[in-house]
Structure 1
Amino acid sequence: MILLISDLHLEEERPDITRAFLHFLQTRAPQAEALYILGDFFEAWIGDDAMTPFQHSIAQALRKLSDGGTRIFLMHGNRDFMIGKAFCREAGCSLLADPSLVRMNGEPVLLMHGDSLCTQDEAYMRLRKWLRNPASLFILRNLPLTTRYKLARKLRKESRMQTPQKAAEITDVTPEEIPRILRQHGVRTLIHGHTHRPATHELQLDGQPARRIVLGDWDRRGWALQVDENGFLQHSFDLI
């Protein structure tokens, strides 16, 4: 069994999500051979050198799961793209490139966070291109902590103000991107998060069935996609 989750946006201000995630790690996750976290695991991340006691506690919970035999893979999201090797060492997880091609149930599956598919949001795409540039990342990681805190607060504030004003089709994936990315990687199953619109979209790709599975965000409920001999099944559950 494999489990996939995304968009928990963990932060101290949402203890309900943290409790639900820790419960998930203690109950469902140990039964899985692998856990994939497809981005926006944390609400914000300004560098491994700025880890808080809260973030250390999450790393330690992941390490316990990893030590128990469950492999953990973590993909960057648009909120936590500065997570680095130090966190992964502490948490016992492996960083996963976006996109990544893996095999599940005997078929190739493409995993993404999903923000790169939202090409109609041109302002965000320009910002994303700058933030993910290696030179920009080097500069950001070497800024004083106080400067990084201020920049993170500024970006979060702007995002919260701008997102509600954008049309739904701009903040969702661009439909034409789906067949393009499936053909590019030679797959018929794509799994991603980011949009907070959990669903399974059945598609036709060059006369063959294909699908796009969108993972749910942990806000009012928790979400997990389970992959096993029964297929790809996503379920929601109460936050405890």
Structure 2
Amino acid sequence: MTTLFISDLHLTPSAPEITDCFTRFMREEAIHADALYVLGDLFEFWIGDDDNSDFAKQIKSEFKRLTQAGIPCFFTQGNRDFLVGKRFAKQTGVTLLGDETVIDLYGTPAVILHGDTLCTDDVQYLAYREKVHQPWLQWVFNRIPFWVKNKIVAKVQSDISDTKKMKSMEIMDVTQSEVEAVMHKHQVKLMIHGHTHRPNIHHFGEGLQRIVLGDWYEQGSVLVCTQSHLDLQTRPFATPQNSNNHLEK
């Protein structure tokens, strides 16, 4: 049996190849897992749980299919889907997690998170994050008509895209000192996160390990965990076959 981790799919109706890969993964792999963890940015942008589009219904149905089959599914909000809330959880059966969660991974404690909070050099983004996570602001936003929210989000996405073009990759990557601080706080030697789109398995310190999940822009990215190993794998869009491109623990 396996525990699976994914993040940064950025699902959107305009990229059906990603949705097809996700659907195949859910029906052929996740259905046989001990558990599935989604570590944020499942969507290109989730405007709110009141999204009743066919696309939103399609994605929700895949999670509902999974959880109704008895497979536990856990969801950590990312910077693109921080508005995923209780209604989404109720409709799909997923369990929402906090920003940082310690899990027991076959006897090994691990801290899991989206990863954006580790990028402490990106001061501008962290200020934006703090603002949009204010409960009162989310309460107001969730009560705005859906078509108005669409316009607001389109403007925000455009601004974010323009800002990212002016930032160096180093600023948008994690800060090592923050990584170590979070691991020390939770007293763990294993961290799993996404966000940076730089899939890798990093070894540092005295037996510390940080696993970065990949994005799904050109292929699927899945961390497959068993009692004996951790394997960071890819999934091609064209076929259901597993890629041989992987990183062993």
Corresponding residue for residue 102 of structure 1: 103
User: Does 1:177 find its partner at 2:178?
Assistant: yes
Corresponding residue for residue 76 of structure 1: 77
Supply the distance in 1 between the matched residues of 2:117 and 2:14 (Cα, whole angstroms).
28
Shift of 1:53: 1.3
Identity of aligned residues (%): 36
Give the structure-1-normalised TM-score: 0.96
Supply the distance in 2 between the matched residues of 1:223 and 1:236 (Cα, whole angstroms).
4
- Tell me which stretches of 4 or more aligned residues in structure 1 moved more than 6 Å: none
Q: Residue 165 of structure 2: SS of its match in structure 1?
A: helix
Cα deviations by residue, 1:51-74 (Å, 9 ceiling, x for unpaired)? 311111111111111111211111
Cα deviations by residue, 1:195-238 (Å, 9 ceiling, x for unpaired)? 0000011011xxx2101100000011101001102221110120
Q: Residue 4 of structure 1: SS of its match in structure 2?
A: strand
Cα deviations by residue, 1:127-178 (Å, 9 ceiling, x for unpaired)? 0001111122112212232331111111111121221221111111112111
One-letter identity of the residue aligned with 1:180? A
Give the structure-2-normalised TM-score: 0.92
Q: Residue 158 of structure 1: SS of its match in structure 2?
A: helix
Unaligned runs of 5+ in 2: 239-249
User: Does 1:189 find its partner at 2:190?
Assistant: yes
Corresponding residue for residue 132 of structure 2: 131
Higher helix share: 1
Deviates further, 76-85 or 42-51: 42-51
Corresponding residue for residue 160 of structure 1: 161
Q: Residue 171 of structure 2: SS of its match in structure 1?
A: helix
One-letter identity of the residue aligned with 1:66? T
Corresponding residue for residue 141 of structure 1: 142
Instruction: Verify the 8 A CA contact 1:66 1:72 in the aligned structure 2.
Output: yes
User: Does 1:41 find its partner at 2:42?
Assistant: yes
Query: Aligned pair count?
Result: 237
Corresponding residue for residue 61 of structure 2: 60
One-letter identity of the residue aligned with 2:23? L
Supply the distance in 1 between the matched residues of 2:235 and 2:49 (Cα, whole angstroms).
31
Corresponding residue for residue 219 of structure 1: 217
Where do 1:80-91 residues align within 5 Å? 80-91=81-92
Shift of 1:46: 1.4
One-letter identity of the residue aligned with 2:234? S
Unaligned runs of 5+ in 1: none
Supply the distance in 1 between the matched residues of 2:219 and 2:166 (Cα, whole angstroms).
24
Cα deviations by residue, 1:44-102 (Å, 9 ceiling, x for unpaired)? 11111123111111111111111112111111010010011111111121111111111
Supply the distance in 2 between the matched residues of 1:153 and 1:215 (Cα, whole angstroms).
27
One-letter identity of the residue aligned with 2:54? P
Q: Residue 70 of structure 2: SS of its match in structure 1?
A: coil
Supply the distance in 2 between the matched residues of 1:141 and 1:69 (Cα, whole angstroms).
31
One-letter identity of the residue aligned with 1:237? R
Supply the distance in 2 between the matched residues of 1:124 and 1:211 (Cα, whole angstroms).
26
One-letter identity of the residue aligned with 2:198? R
Q: State which of 228, 231, 241 in structure 2 corresponds to 1:230.
A: 228
Corresponding residue for residue 116 of structure 1: 117
One-letter identity of the residue aligned with 1:23? R
Supply the distance in 1 between the matched residues of 2:141 and 2:177 (Cα, whole angstroms).
33
